[in-house]
Structure 1
Amino acid sequence: MTITERKWWKDGVVYQIYPASFKDSNGDGVGDLGGIISELDYIRSIGVNIIWICPMYDSPQIDMGYDIRDYEKVYPPYGTVEDMETLISECHSRGMRIMLDLVVNHTSDQHKWFQESRSSKTNPKRDWYIWRPARYVDGVRKPPNNWLSNFGGSVWQWDEHTQEYYLHLFTPEQPDLNWENEETRHAIYKHAMEFWLERGVDGFRVDTVNMYSKGLMQDAPITDPRSEWQFAGMQYCNGPRMHEYISEMNAILSKYDAMTVGECPHTPDIARVLKYVSAREKQLNMVFQFDVVDIGQGPYKFQTTPFNWKLPEFKAAIERTQNLIRGNDSWTTTFLENHDQARSISRFASDAPEHRVASGKMLALMMMALSGTMFIYQGQELGMVNFPLEWSMEEYKDVESGNYYKMVDQRTGGDPAELAAAKAALQHLARDHARVPMQWTAGLNAGFSQVTPWMRVNDDYPVCNAKEQQADKTSVLAFWKRMLQLRRQYVDLFVHGDFELLDKSNLETFTFSKTWRSQRAVVVLNFTGKEQELVLHGEVQTQKAEMLASSLDDSREDSLAAYEGRVYLMH
């Protein structure tokens, strides 16, 4: 165990807000900054001390705000820059901090920089984006390489006007910025970072943080023979100049004592992750590794069947992210949900009506005891779950979901069995489940809006909403509050302690210990809908165990109820 500096963000609990779906304050069916401001006391009451706002910048909303038209303006349905300044000061007045999404791998194709870049090959901003000539195979025009976009199809878009392709790792409306150009980088730092840091923002979640340096852009290996386009994450992530770029960013961020958490996909090499998050490297404070939330996904995410995983895989993924901080100066994160993930109860436990509350509490207890900065996604504290399989494809608003379903339809000639399998995978894993409106009350539109919301409210809002849970001491919300209080009470042990997995191969239960100096705790979790024998492993059995908490009000001495979790303090 290495004792490193206790920065403010290490003990933080971050609450992530998706503005469109949080709360509508002006009656247009879309969440907004006024809605967030109106519920800051609710957020603080959970035990949260940092909020993270998903992109609220001006945007055409092709990819829900991750396609930014102007870094220094706010998307008008959400509010104004003045509203953001109010939100920042209202957070600070409550002793809370605020972080924003920093989306600087790409912009919208409507951004003025790109408009100039595509205007002519001689424009001064031409080199601010990544342009390449076509290749020709037997006289047929082809893109520069075979890379598959994150949303399907090629990463290259032909521009008729200048007769070249531009790169977009995401939608064609999201051209990638050219970080090789020093002028581009400095414009990014000034307009996307310093503009908001000067207004009091306390940090950033850095979108696609390891994609800025693209390397040689050679063809990716063929892993899907049925497609012209191949998965290329290992090609465009962690390129040769990544550490140089992040060090440059850090030099600015450190002046403001700002926190950073990087989104770091396709990085299986732990040594590489450690270089990003080691304190002495001065790059990122922490990253989101996707080991845990990738569980059950297919090679192309939706090419899988629900619950296509076993508990030992889940434990091993948690062990990898927890061990990132063992014996070094690095830091880690703990999370199960975000705007890009389906709901954790539906994915990792059971959203059956009889198990939803127990599952939500059990997962809360598990997260409470994991090391690192904690991230909770809006509605997770209520035990919100995925929307039902019966909903039609029209209810899926996300570009990723729609593109996948269309691809299966085209590839299989509309085969009903293939389409049913695609829909089952979407109902289990789609990002849309995180984006339904927040459930505030049992009233009209779940109290989210007075008018029909931009996205349908989940059917279960009469039994799962904030107002009812605030008055119910046995609710998922009440349990989250208790767990966050316990985490603060034993901050060394749970936030900073060493993790040890105690029952690697068990298919039903998950048992781990946390150790800090002479303190030790054991966590036991039942991941099934059946009662399981309570086993405290190894030398733990010889110690006196004091139960600190159970996710069940009337737990038995020798067995764990369905989806029950417990934490014991060892004496």
Structure 2
Amino acid sequence: MDRQWWKQAVIYQIYPKSFQDSNGDGIGDLQGIISRLDYLKELGIDALWLSPVYCSPQDDNGYDISNYQDIDPMFGNLEDMEELIKKAGSRGIRIIMDLVLNHTSDEHPWFTEARKSKDNPYHDYYVWRDGVEGTAPNRLRAAFGGSAWEWVPELGQYYFHQFSVKQPDLNWDNPKVRLEIRDMILWWMEKGVGGFRLDVIDLVAKEPDRMITADGPRLHEFIQELSRETFQKGDLVTVGEAWSANPDNAVRYSNPDGSELSMVFQFEHICLDQKKGGEKWDLAPLPFLELKRALSTWQESLYLKGWNSLFWNNHDLPRIVSRWGNDKEYRIESAKMFAILLHGMQGTPYIYQGEELGMTNVRYDMEDYRDIETLNIYRERTRAGYNEADVMESIYTKGRDNARTPMQWNHGREAGFTDGTPWIKVNPNYPEINAEAAMADENSIFHVYQKLIGLRKTHDVFVDGKYRLLMPEDPDIFAYTRTLEETTLLVICNFHDKTVPLQLPKELDREKQQLISSYMDEGQADVLKPYEARMYLIG
């Protein structure tokens, strides 16, 4: 059995609530995804990662699960899920489920039982501490604001939650919890899923009494046990979300022996445009040389030792073309540049829905935002005396709803997403930026992504080539090579909105085959236009 199919795969992430509505209720659903499978096959992707579609009260847009083994009615039912797995499979597309294993919803039956009494068999499925009302066990804070401890007066105890108060943390030290998780995963594997994305997996071994939330002492023990009991029994891809990952522990997570996961999502590059010691809302310019260093470190550190995931966007991040590109004069060029820069690297690329169209951030009035994190930070910072204009600028720049606006299919009503009223407003630029227009334009961003996916499947250097950063101190150009035996892939990107001179190292000044470019013409050899990106094959 080949367990490495995911090394030349390209994975597409869908936020189901915003992808395609099939029944007019304004919420995307599984039948909507099924109706768009031919579009995804045309793009050329190998797998679909779905953000959670399980039963959920939707306090955190589905990342608060009340039943791991059923589908929330807003998305359809289990029969729809089985149909999606089958019809995607017939097109060569695997389905990757999003597993939230650090916490459940407070409406999950385990937790409703757990809070009935300290003697309930489910009580120890969660993390509890005795205490006194008004005096939390310690100063740990929840990611969405406030204390990480919630008082339950009838028990005289606090429960621990690293996210919303409605997302109590599971107690992985209890072997019964791990057995429940194992059986649930095996159940999904029986249904034919192609893999799993593991939400905040680096938090599951927390030891809150010692103020340890990420990278607890038993973390890798837990992951190895889970992998041994589940993932290694199938031909799966597994990717762990690990905000605390560094190159050293990523080698453990993605060990080629398959003892843990296929790869992790690490976020070093994503955290560069915030003030040192601050939160993501504390905006700072992107230090470009640091970006080159960070991405290159991961490329070099994991070579032959582990595996990278490659991404600019996901359901929690703003649109890259608005964040670090130019979403106005050079939207098309900068979006293509980001694609070419990333897809030439070693690892598995992830495309987030609409990225292949160059979808952009939005600037809503506050009442039009839906994300719990955004609503909380607005309340917290305005009450704390922050300037409201500054708070809104942070939300415009980094808010998660930037990624969650409906997919822009065509220039018709509500961008072709729904016949009803969408759960969140459509980006008003959909008449110009949509899939129908992109597919009809051979020079579109869509076709660059399509070609990059094809190149990865055609040339082994994309999968196995050794990375080398060129011109590390250049303030505008991100250039690198990937070399496999006699073949070299050369990627050259102007990261900024100005024309810059280009002088390559002499050993690369030889005959090249241009594979792809962000401009229609080949351009001048010694000059790069704004956001110009080129990819060459040498040898």
TM-score by length of 1: 0.91
Give per-residue Cα distances to partners, 1:391-423, cap 9 Å, x unaligned. Answer: 2111221111111111111111xx5xx221111
Overall identity of the aligned pairs, in %: 40
Q: Which residue of 2 aligns with 1:477?
A: 446
Q: Trace 1:100-499 onto structure 2 (pairs within 5 A).
A: 100-134=97-131, 141-191=134-184, 193-215=185-207, 217-219=209-211, 235-251=212-228, 252-268=230-246, 270-280=247-257, 282-298=259-275, 299-305=277-283, 308-328=285-305, 330-352=306-328, 354-388=329-363, 391-412=364-385, 418-490=387-459, 492-499=460-467
Separation of aligned partners in 1, 2:505 and 2:397 = 33
Helix, strand or coil for the counterpart of 2:537?
Answer: strand
Counterpart residue identity of residue 386, structure 1:
N
Distance 1:216 1:85 in 2: 39
Residues 149-177 of structure 1 deviation map (CA, whole Å, 9 limit, x = unaligned): 11111111111111100000000000000
SS at match of 2:467: strand
| Counterpart code for 1:175 | P
Distance in 2, matches of 1:78 and 1:539, equals 55
CA distance in 2, matches of 1:528, 1:258: 39
2:232 touches 2:258 (CA, 8 Å); kept in 1? no
**2:509 paired with 1:516:** no
Q: CA offsets, 1:222-269, max 9 Å, x none?
A: xxxxxxxxxxxxx2111111111111111111112222100011233x
The farther-off stretch of 369-378 and 313-322 is 313-322
Contact map agreement 1:291 1:317 (CA 8 A) in 2? yes
Unaligned runs of 5+ in 1: 220-234
With over 3 angstroms needed to count, the CA separation of the structure-2 counterparts of 1:555 and 1:355, relative to structure 1, is same
Aligned-partner residue type, residue 212 of structure 1:
V
Shift of 1:499: 1.4
Shift of 1:11: 0.9
Moved segments of 4+, more than 6 Å: none
Q: Distance in 2 between matches of 1:539 and 1:11?
A: 28
Q: Distance in 2 between matches of 1:207 and 1:319?
A: 25
Give the deviation of 1:534 after TM superposition: 2.1
Name the counterpart of 2:35. 38
Shift of 1:544: 2.8
User: 2 CA distance for matches of 1:176 and 1:35?
Assistant: 32
What residue is the counterpart of 1:544 in the other structure? 511
For residue 9 of structure 1, give the secondary structure of its aligned residue in structure 2.
helix
* Alpha-carbon distance between aligned partners in 2 of 1:184 and 1:51, rounded to the nearest angstrom: 28
Kept in 1: contact 2:53–2:62 (CA 8 A): yes
Say if 1:524 and 1:565, in contact at 8 Å, map to a contact too: yes
Measured after TM superposition, the shift of residue 382 of structure 1 is 0.5
Q: Distance in 2 between matches of 1:538 and 1:215?
A: 54
The one-letter amino acid of 1:552's match is Y
Q: Judging changes above 3 Å, is the alpha-carbon distance between structure 1 residues 273 and 90 closer, same or farther for their aligned structure 2 residues?
A: same
TM-score (norm 2): 0.96
Q: How many residues align?
A: 535
Q: How far apart are residue 453 of structure 1 and its match?
A: 0.3
Residue 216 of structure 1: how far off its partner (Å):
5.6
Aligned counterpart for 1:89 among listed residues 74, 82, 86: 86
| Mapped contact 1:107–1:175 kept (Cα < 8 A) | yes
1:538 CA displacement = 4.7
Q: CA–CA distance in 1 between the matches of 2:145 and 2:300? A: 34
> How far apart, CA to CA, are the structure 1 residues paired with 2:258 and 2:450?
35
